[in-house]
Amino acid sequence: MPETYRKPTLDKDLDKFATMEEATGLINRGFVTPGLALVFIFLCAIIAAVFVTGQPGAVVIIAAAMIGAYMALNIGANDVANNVGPAVGSQAMTLGVALAIAAVFESAGALIAGGDVVSTISKGIIDPVAVSDPNVFIAAMMAALVSAAMWIHLATWFGAPVSTTHSIVGGVMGAGIAAAGVDAVNWPTMGGIAASWVISPFMGGIIAAAFLAFIKTFIIYQEDKIAAARRWVPVLIAIMIGTFATYLSLKGVKALIKIPLSTALLIGLGAGFVGWLVARPVIARQSRGLENRNQSLRKLFGLPLIFSAALLSFAHGANDVANAVGPLAAIVHTAELGEVAPKVVIPLWVMAVGAVGISLGLLLFGPKLIRMVGNQITKLNPMRAYCVALSAAITVIIASWLGLPVSSTHIAVGAVFGVGFFREWYTERSSRRADYVVRHQINTPGTEAAKGQLAEQRRRKLVRRSHFLQIIAAWVITVPAAAVLSGVLFVVLRAVLV
């Protein structure tokens, strides 16, 4: 066949090869993140083997290290999104910057303030006497870790932010019931946790909506927005700084030093006053030359949001790393010494597994939940995201004062819901907003047209109902689902270990 007739065929064949290579690359890209996660899990097994080789129960400890690593990855994939999701959704920072900030501060919080003593029975859910046999206890803690990790993994896959604390509590409860019956469970404590399903999101939503109402009333719908912002934004920043100082004093560094609530409040008051003194000239300088419109106001909330994301991540790492390494540390202690203790010292390598695992899980699998919290529930801008971040810290402080068990996940997501539902209510009912839109309508000529556009805006739903129902359903079934799965796994593990 002449050369001129073979070239087109060759070109077509080469195009097919190029297309196949491109398709193969796209397929393989989907295996990169789970592949890296598996590498991390096996590295944790190797690290555990280095530290426990030759010790009693070495095989059990290595297996538990792999399970703890898997749990930590899932905590990073699901729970950390609540800290940075609002800032990303409001475009105060990019997804890449958010991932980097959260990973660094989560690890710092876990390693610096994560604590060296953790309750092995996870907040007193089951009676240690009921599971005093070491083999029974190890099987129960393994079942709790695996079930909690699997449930969080499933929730992340469906795009539902759930409480990792409630997941591990459900796992411990289910294993405890399977091991020693329903009498082994501390039911008053479980009742408080069940109440937190309602208390946490409700408190978070109310506080976030209250701050958004304040911002709308005293800044957004003022004739001179910039002058109002110069007056009130430093006050809001001072409240944020004072709140986070109190929050970190109570929760973020509690493993290093115990600070009573009264002292923490004084620390927060002092930090807030200093923050106000610093913020006044900064906001005055930033607002100079800005146009009198809402878009200009958003620039003034960008930097506070970045700091809030970092501080929330630090506090989360300090507290929630225990969900991954608490049961793991209990297994290590029990396997090595052959006794069940109510509290144990966490080895450094165990804490590192939790810290690195949470950060890696965030980097590999976190973007999905970050987009869900930040973009898909309701539309956030820097002012709304600021209300969410501030509400999360204030709600935890109030809950600590009242002695209520609350979930940081439920608080943050509840605050996002609160902001969205308040916007719906405000859009539909506010006469102030109606007057403002009619008087300042510049895109649509004529007052009647402005009123028509306002009526159309009032009919819009600003919170996605499908996501709302999906997340609420996931919250309600988290504890029972983890408990049932844990009970089944305990029966299997008990048979294997015996």
Q: What is the dihedral of CA 314, 320, 322, 327, to 10 degrees?
A: -150
429 vs 426: CA distance, rounded Å: 5
Least confident of 26-40, 153-167, 459-473: 26-40
**Structure letter (DSSP) for residue 346:** P
Mean pLDDT for 46-53 is 89
pLDDT of residue 90: 87
- Which residue is it, tokens 């006794």? 339
Average pLDDT, the chain: 82
pLDDT of residue 435: 58
58-78: string of b/e by CB count within 10 Å (b at 16+)?
bebbbbbbbbbbbbbbbbbbb
Instruction: Name the pLDDT band for 224 (thresholds 50, 70, 90).
Output: very high
- Check residues 98 and 316 and name the one with the higher pLDDT: 98
326 vs 350: CA distance, rounded Å: 9
- The most confident of the ranges 1-5, 71-75, 308-312, 350-354 is 71-75
Per residue, what are the HEC states of 41-101? Answer: HHHHHHHHHHHHCCCCCHHHHHHHHHHHHHHHHHHHHHCCHHHHHHHHHCCCCCHHHHHHH
Least confident of 85-89, 140-144, 161-165, 316-320: 316-320
pLDDT of residue 1: 47
414 vs 204: CA distance, rounded Å: 5
- For residue 227, what are its two tokens? 């002058």
Residue 143 · residue 490 · CB < 8 Å:
yes
pLDDT of residue 81: 81
186 vs 245: CA distance, rounded Å: 33
DSSP string, 190-216: HHHHHHHHHHHHHHHHHHHHHHHHHHI
Residue 119 · residue 342 · CB < 8 Å:
yes
Is the pLDDT score of 117 beyond 60? no
- Check residues 444 and 32 and name the one with the higher pLDDT: 32
pLDDT in tens, 241-294: 998 888 888 776 666 677 888 898 999 999 999 999 999 999 999 999 888 888
pLDDT of residue 126: 78
pLDDT of residue 269: 95
